[in-house]
Amino acid sequence: MAQQYFAQIYVTLRPSVLDPQGTAVQSGLKHMGYDNVEQVRIGKYVEITLTAESSEDAKSQLDLICDQLLANPVIENYRIDLKELSTSMNIGS
Amino acid sequence: MAQQYFAQIYVTLRPSVLDPQGTAVQSGLKHMGYDNVEQVRIGKYVEITLTAESSEDAKSQLDLICDQLLANPVIENYRIDLKELSTSMNIGS
């Protein structure tokens, strides 16, 4: 039976990669008076709702989606938090 | 004594606001064969390291930073997760 899942995906630059966008934000904050901000790193946050047979199935599909589309594995890392949505959905089962 | 904090900030579009970037990603995934993806919403993920007197102080500064720079309160929500970094830093205390 297909189950609905909600995934929260965090795509961040690898620590060794420079983050010009983060540096720009930090510099902007400094100009606004926030001298106590030491580092800013900016990433992407993606929420995906999908149906899958199992959480393992959902997880492996999301890994592929991240590698193929959402993240650039050369310079970015990603982390996936997966939640099963309540089984109020019986469509197609 | 100043303490170092690490904040993870999630900026998301309000549910009522259309997300063309998310729609584009969903359409891309469909073309790649992922027909089971039902919704994609894209937001920003920001990591900030800062020093503050207390976690309340850090939290109130981060709220201001979000309202003034990181998020557009008209169309976006934000959520802040704050962690105290281990007290290995005694500089300036």
Residue pLDDT, tens place only, A72-92: 999 999 999 999 997 654 444
- Our CA-based measurement puts residue A18 at a distance from the nearest CA of chain B, in whole angstroms, of 14
Q: What are the start-end ranges of the H helices in chain B?
A: 20-31, 55-65
B75 belongs to a structural domain: yes
- A93 occurs within a structural domain: no
Residue B63 inside a domain? The answer is: yes
Q: Tell me if A70 sits within 8 A of B25, measured CB to CB.
A: yes
Q: Measured between CB atoms, which of B11, B29, B49 is closest to A65?
A: B29
In a domain, B92, yes or no: no
Which whole number is the average pLDDT over A54-79? 96
Q: Is residue B70 part of a domain?
A: yes
**Model-level pTM?**
0.86
Q: How many domains does chain A have?
A: 1
Find chain B residues with C-beta within 8 A of A47's C-beta: 12, 39-43
Q: Which pLDDT belongs to residue B86?
A: 79
Main-chain dihedrals φ then ψ at residue A21, nearest 5 degrees? -65, -45
Would A60 be classed as within a structural domain?
A: yes
Alpha-carbon gap, residue B60 to B55, rounded angstroms: 9
A93: confidence class by pLDDT, cuts 50, 70, 90: very low
* Domain-located, residue A48: yes
Q: Cα–Cα distance between B42 and B25 in angstroms, integer? A: 9
Q: Which residues pair with B45 in a beta bridge?
A: A43, B10
Q: What are the chain B neighbours of A28 within 8 Å (beta carbons)? A: 69
| Within-domain flag for A72 | yes
Domain that holds residue B12: 3-16+43-84
Probe site for chain A from B10, B47, B61, B78 (most A CB atoms < 10 A)? B47
CATH of the domain at B76: 3.30.1280.10
